[in-house]
């Protein structure tokens, strides 16, 4: 019997002299800066469990490994402006553990929160209303002088390049 897939959700914020540097700092805060991110669509496989973790509890791997994940990323460049990112998830009502992730970015906590709620509701409605909200993580940061970034990352699996190469 194989262990269930554990999806870890962490948040991070960062500041840098460029938006890319701010993104990297936010990824470091979220515990995933040394991976190559492979962005997934937002489907939670059956039997999965979702854990909210801090950056120190994120998946571990080697520098440059591929990381399969769902993420939201927001930037702010002007003093006083805010960057907010969020990921929320729901589960199918049948007990299978199957579910959905949604991710949003925006200039305020309220907008991101509302967008997450509406997306989960609409995605559930598309599937016959059989999903219920289970959790969410939201991160935000205010720009003072340098560019800032907020991220929320849901990690599914990491793979070394030897494994990825064998798949081609």
Nearest to 152 by CA among 83, 76, 82: 83
Residue 1 has a pLDDT of 47
Is the pLDDT at 165 greater than 70? The verdict is no
Given 3.30.465.10, 2.40.110.10, 3.30.450.40, 3.50.20.10, which CATH number is that of 6-160? Answer: 3.50.20.10
Q: Which residue has the higher pLDDT, 125 or 164?
A: 125
Residue 5 has a pLDDT of 93
Sign of the alpha-carbon dihedral angle for 113, 116, 119, 120: negative
Is the pLDDT at 166 greater than 90? The verdict is no
**pLDDT tens by residue, 71-130:** 999 999 999 999 999 999 999 999 999 999 999 999 999 999 999 999 999 999 999 989
- The residues spanned by each domain of the chain are 6-160
Sheet holding 131-142, edge to edge: 43-44, 99-106, 82-92, 131-142
Predicted model pTM: 0.92
């Amino acid at each position: 019997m194989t262990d269930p897939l554990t999806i870890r959700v962490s948040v991070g914020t960062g500041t840098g002299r460029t938006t890319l540097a701010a993104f990297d700092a936010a990824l470091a805060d979220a515990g995933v800066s040394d991976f190559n991110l492979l962005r997934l669509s937002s489907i939670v496989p059956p039997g999965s469990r979702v854990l909210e973790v801090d950056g120190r509890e994120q998946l571990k791997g080697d520098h440059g490994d591929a990381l399969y994940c769902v993420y939201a990323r927001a930037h702010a460049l002007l003093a006083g402006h805010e960057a907010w990112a969020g990921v929320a998830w729901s589960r199918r009502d049948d007990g299978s553990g199957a579910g959905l992730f949604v991710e949003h970015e925006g200039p305020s906590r309220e907008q991101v929160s509302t967008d997450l709620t509406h997306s989960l509701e609409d995605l559930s409605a598309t599937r016959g209303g059989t999903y219920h909200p289970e959790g969410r993580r939201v991160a935000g940061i205010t720009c003072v002088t340098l560019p800032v970034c907020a991220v929320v990352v849901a990690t599914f699996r990491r793979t070394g390049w030897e494994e990825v190469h064998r798949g081609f």
